[in-house]
Amino acid sequence: MDANSVLIDALDSYSLNLGDYKGDTAAIANAISKCKDYLSHNTVTTDWVKRNWGNRLNIIFYPLI
């Protein structure tokens, strides 16, 4: 499985659980949508993910921790 598919699957799984969180999750859902859109149109490698997505994923997941 390539990096794009893994990330899209992870984002899909995560977005299914947004209803479990209290508060407004619209911004998080929007960020997930934009990330999935990017992944659908751009090929990424695991090295690219390590360099670039750490900050993006922290933005999505940090408010829920």
Q: What is the pLDDT of residue 31?
A: 87
- Domain containing 29 equals 3-64
pLDDT digits (tens, 9 = 90+) for 19-61: 887 788 888 889 889 989 988 998 887 787 777 766 666 666 6
pLDDT digits (tens, 9 = 90+) for 7-24: 899 889 888 888 887 788
Q: Considering its fold, how many domains does the chain have in total?
A: 1
Q: What is the pLDDT of residue 60?
A: 64
Burial profile 7-17: b = 16 or more Cβ within 10 angstroms, e = fewer:
beeebeeebee
Q: What is the pLDDT of residue 63?
A: 59
Cα(57)–Cα(54) distance, integer angstroms:
5
Which token pair is 41?
A: 């149109």
